[in-house]
Structure 1
Amino acid sequence: MDVRRLETFVAVARSTTLAEAADRLGCARSTVTGHLQGLERDLGASLVERGGSVNRLTGAGTRFLEYATDILDKLAQAQAAVAAAAEDGGGRLNLGATASLCTYRLPGFLRTLHRLMPHLDAQVVVGSVPELREQVGRGELSAALVNSATVPAARPSAVAPDDRAAGEDDRRPLWTDRVALVGAPEQVARPRRLLVTAPGCVYRDLAERQALPRLGRVQVQQVGSVDGVTSSVLAGMGVGVVPAVAVGPHLRSRRLVELPLPALPPVVTELIWNAEVTPPHVIPHLRRLRPPQPHPPAVPRPSPSARSKGGRRLRRSPVGVVASTGGDAVRT
């Protein structure tokens, strides 16, 4: 079975249209169609419904997606293992991350790396976004997880080595997180203190530029990290700007509530790397990382009379496969 056809099918399954899949793969739409038809001939089954404006998998396609993804993952792991063995080891990835991402995104990301490359030695250092970008550009770090209120535009490739920035081929946006201004229930009516993270943190910038003008006259107090803001807010010291994913349980339990103010801009987290210092066998894995897809809307439970048809029980199958990393997920 042709690996390129498997890659094309997975891209089609994760794209809205064939044109989008072709764009992801960097090939013509006719090539996508040819690969898909060839795979269907090999399997003797239709994998994608024909005639629709968006890509929809057939039952056979949904079933095969799980196996196709697993085959590609196993192949990538085999390639990495062979490359690592040739290098007499798994290789080392010097990885940077912001303090806020170490709190709620780094553990899941490291689990994904370990699943894909079990022998990789990933060493993590913490820094601000400007520091991490400069260190990756200079080759002091192989890669870094950085976050910002907007996705930074790619810089031209014709720059000096010391000013080198991640381009389209050496960065991947991974998460888009909703931002919340939260406080204990007794604090949100009349907040007197805005609790902020350290300078250089995207949540500090959002607090000062977006939240502070909306709160009026309040005292600004630095409490360090996202964890520090969360703990201080829970203690009733004031209100703070944090990623909603970091305080989800507290919001659901009503220990914290959101202030009724206009929504704050979301924060995008991306992985950037320097291809000149990143182990060659690691780069293909990094390029395959993709943002997790949103879950489809919940389907109402059918009534007893509609649960079966012609004596067969009806059930809904998932159409996506996500590489789970605990509470986080990165699609590969």
Structure 2
Amino acid sequence: MKKSYYLFNPGRMSREDNTLKFAVTDDNGNESSTKYIPVETVDNLYVFGSLDTNSTLYNFLGKEHISVHFFDYYEHYTGSYMPKDYLLAGKMIIAQTNVHSNFRERLSLAQKLTEGAAFNMLKNLRYYNNRQKDTSEQISRIEFLTESILSTTDIDMLMGIEGNIRSSYYEAFSIIINDFEMGQRSKRPPSNEINAMISFINSLCYTLCLDMIYHTQLNPTISFLHQPGERRYSLALDLSEIFKPILVDRLIFSLLNKKQIQASDFDHKLNSCLLKESGRKIIVKSWDEKINETIKHRSLGRNVSYKHLVKLECYKLTKHILNIEEYKPFKAWW
């Protein structure tokens, strides 16, 4: 079974036959230890330290359809190496472009995406509200805002409502999470522990969505809720809105409330808070376990992983764009 590999240490990667050789290096470029990774076990690579390699390796990774995602010192996602789009089809690109260009069709699809995200946020808040965490004020506010989604007349208006929904949702984090305060949402740089975790795991969710899009005929640069010009792979941003409450936020609540991540796992600097390597390793291990965990799918009648749920969402978008079946956003039932 293929899996993700997370590279935290700086190192040098090369190809040896059908194996990836990763040599950890020190500040002077001297190799200290070496790990060999059979290429058939690699789904994708996440690079958090400096990586020294060459075009020969990337040609090899491209042929094996292995993507590489890069993060900077501040844990921000900076970009991806994506192999050649081997599943892209002209018919699909034209249809996807037509939906984006049609004002009413794009707005309708963007509203559905926003509705799905709001539903999953409310699902989280109601869960904790029933467990002695009073999130009733935030629930009422989001319910009120959700009612106005379908009455929006353009994307900017819809994005404004989506922003207000998420702002109200984040207000509840300090109620749900023990021992840590959320405060205002801050990204570059994160101002405290919760913000640092949100930014880091949001990036993991974004790259997961990008990987799943890559394995379908969808074009990741043509989006519906977010403007394509904002980021290169803006469709991944659209999809991640739906799955962040389920994959990202629930993981944050669990890790902090169960004290798997503690204050000692963060590095506080001037006006910023970053995860230490110890914290990042705990998170990526829990993230991998989470996305590979399976649940009984109500429609399919079989167990599917959370990771596969994202791919299924891509297939649903594909069917909608090709006028096969109307898109209905994923809504958590547990």
What's the TM-score bracket when you normalise by the shorter of the two chains? under 0.3
- TM-score w.r.t. the length of structure 2 is 0.22
- TM-score w.r.t. the length of structure 1 is 0.22
Task: Give the structure with the larger helix fraction.
Answer: 2
Return the structure number with greater relative CO, CA threshold 8 A, min gap 6.
1
Higher-Rg structure is: 1
